Structures are given as C-alpha cells and as structure tokens.
C-alpha cells in the first residue's frame, strides 16, 4: 500500500470518526447550535488529520501501524479489555456533555476556561504528534514488532517521561471537559453548590439581589472586550498555524493545484485570507482593550426599584473626555428557551431574547469626573413602574435588566460597556 493510498484512507476514516463524534454530541444535545462542539470537532479533526498526513509522509510504516485495528491477533487479553473500556468511556463523555452542557444546562463554563480547554486539547495533540515523530513503533496496541526490528526509544519526549503519550492524554482529557462543558465536575460540585445556594436564599429572604456576588458587593465588571480579544487571537493563531502546517507538508501539491485551476487557486487563497482577516480583527480588538480595558459599575441604589431611579457610577479608562453627549440605555428583556422545528423537521431548542422595554438617556460631557485612571460616568436613570422586575416569570422565562453605556471618543474609537443591574419592585 502506497503512502498516498494510506493518507486517502486516513482522510476517509477521519471523516467517519468525526461524523460518529458529531452524532454522539449533537443528538443528546438536541440542537446543532453548540459552538463549543463545532470548535472541538474542527480542532481535533483538523489537527489530528494534519498530524497523520505528516506522519504518513515521513514514516509510512508507522501510519500503517496506527491505522490498524485496536483489537489484533496475539494481543494480550488485558490490553483488549483496557482498550474497549477506554473507548467506551471516551465515547460516553460526548453523550454526557451534550446532556449536561446543552440539553439540561446543569453546567455553565466561562469563556476563558473554554479557551483554556481548546489550548489544552491542542497541547495534548501536539504531544501525541511529538511521540510519533520520536517513536516509529508507537502502535495502538501493546506488542513487540519484531518484523520491524523493534527497539527502545529514549529520545524526544521519551527523554523526559517514560510514557509521554499517556502524559499527553491528560491535557487532552481535561481540555475536552473544559471546552465541552465541565461535565466531570458538575455532579461533584453540584450538591455542594446547591447547599450553599439554599443557605444564601434562607439568609437573604426578601433580598434576592444579594444572591449575586457582584450585586451584593455593589460592583459589576464588564470585561467583554477582553473575552473577544482572547477568542480572536486563539482562533486566528490556530487557523494560521494549521495553514502553515498544511503548506509545509503539501507545498508541491498545493502549487501544482494552483497552476492547474483558477478555481482551486481561489479556494486555496481563501484559507490564508480567512486567517488574515482574523488577525486584523484580533489586532483591532486588542487596540480596543488597550484603549479602554475593563469598566466597573459601582451601584449606589441597591437595588433599583421600579417607579424610582437607578443610580451608580461607571469607572471607564477614557484618556480623552468625549466632546459629544454619552448614551446610557436602560433595558429590560425576557430570555427563554423554546422548542422549535428546524428545516428538516427535527425538534431543537433555541435561546430566545425578547426586548420588553428600553429608554435612552444622554449624559453631557460636563458631568464626567476626571480621575488618575480615566473618568467616572455618573448614572441616574428613571425606572418605569409598570415593567416586570428581575425574576423568573410565570412561564419560567428570565427577566433581566441591563445598562448599556456608549460614547464616541475623539480619534475614531467607540467606547461601549454593558452591565446587568438589579431592578426589583418594593
């Protein structure tokens, strides 16, 4: 079997494996609207396939071994049972993730931990690739390959740890849990969290706003620009890295395809172009973060009562006071999960946001107070008496109030900040 033939089989097997994984993820989740799962499939499938192609070109015999069945003649019985057990556990985690993180939403993972999970997956796959570069005998089963003159390997990652592939499985496993929803920890930490929540509800009876730590501390932080910046850098760096890797191992074929067809040239050019667009967006997001950083809302009226006013102060890192009036919008919205049928007639869930009420107020630049770190924006907005307070309504939908602050800064930049605020009825 030639190297090209094996690589073709590798591509087919990868596509089949990704299809099985996607089914195990999305069917329990009940929806295709799960960005973390798409990132996982793209990252694991793309990096795994790129590694396999590189190994197939540099060490065809190893790729032939890696593509063998995990259950082979002459294999130890304990190894067969171990591999089958590990395969079952590995596939089961996808089902649990779909149920836990999406369908029942019993876990809630912050964006920065999801990004850490994606980086850990990449690190684990890189260790696997380094192991196969160093060890031409890294078969999927435990056996001595006498026909290939098997010998002990002590270079590369084997110089650091005796079983580096097992070491690489640690960040891969933990990263998968973080990216897909922290489902390993939720059922351990869940009971303890529920007990703490029940104690807090009893302690702050009649004052539900005290159940949120940031509201209770009277300080709400907006760091959304940082999350956008980190995501764009991780995505664009990963995309450009994959493009560079594919170019390094398939440069001759890519050039030949570009000479043969303008259509292929256009499609090939789209890949680095997408990475370039991502880098431009990441640079722009970094500039925004460096200009404005995070904003902090200090709540003066805890809570804001309907029929009265919500007052507070936003500390913003504005080097120059805007010359035009700032905008402060107070808004109420209703968020709910609903079941809908997709274009294929399958039932799925979607997060629906319905605006309930909003009003824009202007803040004149003369009211801003200069500090050593920027400016303080005073907030004093009336709250209507006839709107619903923060709560779950009779249909189980979440009612949220939020404050949006916007300003056009000299130099062409636009400052924005968003805070969820406590609004209740007396």
Range of 119-133, 246-260, 367-381, 393-407 with top mean pLDDT: 367-381
pTM reported for the whole predicted model: 0.55
Give the whole-angstrom CA distance, residue 103 versus residue 342.
Answer: 16
CA-wise closest residue to 68 among 143, 15, 125, 129: 143
Element housing 185 (H / E): helix 183-203
- Mean pLDDT over 129-148 rounds to 62
Name the most confidently modeled range: 45-49, 263-267, 409-413: 45-49
Proportion of the chain above pLDDT 70, given as a percent? 79
Residue 371 bridge partners (DSSP): 374
Confidence check: pLDDT of 295 > 90: yes
SS3 call for 99: helix
Q: Which residue has the higher pLDDT, 400 or 105?
A: 400
- DSSP per-residue string spanning 42-79: HHHHHHHHHHHHHHHHH-HHHHHHHTS-SS-TT--HHH
Neighbouring residues of 1: CB distance < 8 A, sequence distance ≥ 6? 64
Does position 377 have pLDDT exceeding 90, yes or no? yes
Of 291, 303, 308, whose CA–CA distance to 385 is shortest? Answer: 308
pLDDT tens-digit readout, 308-321: 999 999 999 988 88
Question: Stretch 45-54: mean pLDDT, rounded?
Answer: 86
Calpha distance 262→96 (Å, rounded): 45
Using the predicted structure, report yes or no on whether residue 184 has a pLDDT greater than 50: no
CA 38 to chain CA centroid, Å, is 10
Beta bridge partners of 406: 327, 416
Q: What is the mean pLDDT of the chain?
A: 81
* Cα 106-188-84 angle, rounded to 5 deg: 90
Q: Is the dihedral of CA 179, 181, 183, 186 positive or negative?
A: positive
- What's the pLDDT score for residue 89? 78
pLDDT of residue 419: 94
Distance between terminal CA atoms of the chain? 78
What are the angstrom distances between the C-alpha of 300 and each of 177, 206, 326, 402, 416? 40, 19, 20, 15, 21
pLDDT reported for residue 147: 55
Residue 306 or 243, more confident: 306
Who has greater pLDDT, 294 or 55? 294
Does the CA dihedral 61-62-63-69 come out positive or negative?
positive
Are the beta carbons of 55 and 61 closer than 8 angstroms?
no
Of 92-96, 183-187, 251-255, 282-286, the range with the lowest mean pLDDT is: 183-187
Model pLDDT, residue 400 = 92
- Which of the given ranges, 110-124, 175-189, 347-361, 392-406, has the highest pLDDT on average? 110-124
Tell which wins on pLDDT, 236 or 149. Answer: 236
Provide the pLDDT for residue 69: 58
In this prediction, residue 311 carries a pLDDT of: 96
At 88 the pLDDT is 79
| pLDDT-based confidence at residue 362 (cuts at 50, 70, 90) | very high
Phi then psi for 318, rounded to 5 degrees?
-105, 115
């Amino acid at each position: 079997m030639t190297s090209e033939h094996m690589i073709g089989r590798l591509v087919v097997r990868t596509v089949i494996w990704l299809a099985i994984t996607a089914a195990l993820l999305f069917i329990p989740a009940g929806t295709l609207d799960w960005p973390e799962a798409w990132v996982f499939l793209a990252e694991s499938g793309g990096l795994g396939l790129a590694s396999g192609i590189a190994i197939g070109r540099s060490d065809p015999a190893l790729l032939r071994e890696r593509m063998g069945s995990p259950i082979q003649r002459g294999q130890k019985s304990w190894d067969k049972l171990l591999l089958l057990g590990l395969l079952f556990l590995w596939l089961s985690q996808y089902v649990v993730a779909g149920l836990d993180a999406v369908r029942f939403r019993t876990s809630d993972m912050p964006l920065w931990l999801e990004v850490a999970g994606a980086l850990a997956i990449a690190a684990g796959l890189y260790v696997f690739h380094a192991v196969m570069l160093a060890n031409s005998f890294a078969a999927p089963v435990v056996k001595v390959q006498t026909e290939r003159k098997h010998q002990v390997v002590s270079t590369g990652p084997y110089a650091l740890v005796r079983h580096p592939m097992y070491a690489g499985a640690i960040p891969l496993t933990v990263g998968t849990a973080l990216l897909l929803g922290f489902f390993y920890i939720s059922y351990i930490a869940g009971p303890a969290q529920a007990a703490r929540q029940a104690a807090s509800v009893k302690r702050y009876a009649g004052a539900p706003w005290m159940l949120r730590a940031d509201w209770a501390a009277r300080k709400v932080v907006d760091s959304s620009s940082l999350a956008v910046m980190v995501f764009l850098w991780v995505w664009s760096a990963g995309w450009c890295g994959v493009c560079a890797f594919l170019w390094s191992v398939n440069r001759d074929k890519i050039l030949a395809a570009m000479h043969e067809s303008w259509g292929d040239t256009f499609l090939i050019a789209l890949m680095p172009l997408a990475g370039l667009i991502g880098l431009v967006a990441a640079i722009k997001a970094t500039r925004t973060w460096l200009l404005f950083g995070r904003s902090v809302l200090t709540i003066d009226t805890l809570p804001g009562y309907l029929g009265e006013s919500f007052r507070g102060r936003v500390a913003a890192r504005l080097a120059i006071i805007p010359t035009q009036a700032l905008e402060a919008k107070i808004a109420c919205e209703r968020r709910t999960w609903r079941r809908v049928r997709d274009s294929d007639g399958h039932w799925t869930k979607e997060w629906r946001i319905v605006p309930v009420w909003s009003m824009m107020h202007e803040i004149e630049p003369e009211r801003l107070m200069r500090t050593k770190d920027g400016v303080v924006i005073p907030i004093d907005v009336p709250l209507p008496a006839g709107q619903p307070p923060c709560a779950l309504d009779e249909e189980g939908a979440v009612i949220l109030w939020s404050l949006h602050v916007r300003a056009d800064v000299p130099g062409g930049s636009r400052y924005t900040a968003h805070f969820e605020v406590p609004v209740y009825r007396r």
